Amino acid sequence: MSNISSISPVQGKIAVVTGGTDGIGKEIARGLAQIMAELVIVGRDAGKGARAQREIGASAKNCDVHFVQADLSLVREAHRLGDAVAKRWPTIHYLVHSAGFVRGRRVLTAEGLESNFATNYLSRFALTTRLLPALQAAGRSGEAARILLVSHPGFSGTIHYDDVNLTTNYTTITAFKQFHYANDVFTVELARRLSIPGERPAVTISCLHPGPTKTNIDKEMPLWMQLMVRWVVHPLFSRTPDVPATAAFKLLLANEFEGESGALFSLVGKFRRVPVPPTVQDPEQGKRLWAFSEAQVRPALGRTPPVSPTEPMGEPMRMIGLDNAQLRASSRS
């Protein structure tokens, strides 16, 4: 699937792409606009979003392109976005998470969360779980709705449950490994919760490492990392964003990945499947991250005071606290 123009347009299907105003996300959005009925692109900058909407809309065939502004460093913004999208589009066929950055210094968001973890993982968790009913309404066994996370699967990392904000152990590499590892665990755990014995899932999720790509993700990296990326990685190894976008189309649209869920892929070198490490596959790790994520999201939405990792988690949030049985029941309805 090297050329999305060779794919026939799909009737009535809707895609949502975060980070769709720049870089890899914009290229994914541009391609999907050629075959979707409606496309929703999400970005933080209203001006850039308006330009992307015009540009992508002008190149689209029969697709209505919409821009929704949201600052996905904030969980409450992810939930507001989910509310707005779900209200207008009660069925969603494709959800692509491409928004993200790598920040070289420790910055807390207005919600008191370390900004790398909040943007690159926690808001993804909040938005995905908020949009699950719309994805489940669109998907069915044999023609699943698909979720794709653009991340860096396969990195060995640690989720610092006792200090997720890295107050005593912050380095860019530590933050980087933490949020990417969380994306891996979330991918596998959500796939587990959506699985139905003996049936293909109605909603699938996968994670793609885009490989070295020429984007502006390096603008908030530490100086030494910026110099390495700009003077070594980009000239020698990086590709243009259309290359990972092509791999994304394969995972979103190709028949060979129908029903494939909880899988990790990489475009470092050739496109390939990444083995899922035992720690990522561990159901207890998945349950722990899910409960921890709910506890972190809850106070950002003003539901309850913050919960420390050593305190009982309490009842799951009604709006995202979906356990395996509830998710499976929703998939059947």
Report the number of distinct structural domains present in the chain. Answer: 1
Residue 279 to residues 97, 155, 156, 306, Cα–Cα distance (Å): 23, 12, 9, 27
pLDDT at 319 > cutoff 60 = no
* 82: CATH: 3.40.50.720
Residue 296 contacts residue 161 (beta carbons within 8 Å)? no
Question: What angle do the packed helices 23-32 and 242-253 form, to 10 degrees?
Answer: 50
pLDDT band (50, 70, 90) for residue 8: low
Q: Which residues pair with 266 in a beta bridge?
A: 209, 272
Confirm whether 4 is domain-assigned: no
Confirm whether 251 is domain-assigned: yes
**pLDDT score, position 2:** 42
Confirm whether 81 is domain-assigned: yes
**pLDDT score, position 218:** 63
Q: Give which of 81, 120, 75, 77 is closest to 97, Cα–Cα.
A: 120
Bin 19: left if φ > 0, else alpha if -120 < ψ < 50, else beta.
left
**CA 245 – CA 128 distance, rounded (Å):** 20
pLDDT > 90 in the chain, percent: 65
SS3 333: coil
Q: What is the pLDDT of residues 18-36, one digit of tens each?
A: 999 999 999 999 999 999 9
Q: What is the pLDDT of residues 112-127, one digit of tens each?
A: 999 999 999 999 999 9
User: Each residue of 160-185: b (16+ CB within 10 Å) or e?
Assistant: beeebbbeeebebeebbbbbbbbbbb
Residue-number span of the structural domain to which 173 is assigned = 9-332
Confirm whether 187 is domain-assigned: yes
**CA 203 – CA 191 distance, rounded (Å):** 8
Residue 72 contacts residue 78 (beta carbons within 8 Å)? yes
Q: What is the pLDDT of residues 283-302, one digit of tens each?
A: 999 999 999 999 999 887 77
What mean pLDDT is reported for the chain? 85
**pLDDT score, position 121:** 97
Residue by residue, DSSP assigns 249-311 as HHHHH-GGGTT--SEEEE-SSS-EEEPPPHHHH-HHHHHHHHHHHHHHHHHHTTSS----TTS
Residue 25 contacts residue 150 (beta carbons within 8 Å)? yes
